[in-house]
Structure 1
C-alpha cells in the first residue's frame, strides 16, 4: 500500500485578500486545512492529494473519473 502524495501550500495574507486566496486555492483543487488570524494577517494552510501519474489504483485497474 503506497502513501498518498500530498502537496502543501502555506499563504499569509491581509484580511482584504483572504476571500480571493481561498477561492484561488479551492479552484486549484486544494483543500483548506486551516486558517488562522495572527493579529495582523491571516495564515492559510491548504493541501492537495496528488493522484498516481498512471491513473491506476494499486490493483492495476484504471478507475473511471
Structure 2
C-alpha cells in the first residue's frame, strides 16, 4: 500500500482512504503540534517504509513523460 501523510494542518478536507484528483485541496496548512510556524510535513510510505518524497516525484515525472 502507498500512503501519503500531510501533517500540521489547521483543517482537513478529505477522509482517510478517499481518492482525490490532481489539484484538489486536501486541507489548510497550519502550525498544529510542536512547530515554529505554519508549514506542511509531508511523508510517503510504501508498505510501511518511509520514502524520500523527491524520489517519488521523480518516478511520477518519468511515468507521465512516457504516457
The TM-score, its normalising length taken from structure 2, stands at: 0.27
The structure having more radius of gyration, on CA atoms, is: 1
Q: Which is strand-richer, 1 or 2?
A: 1
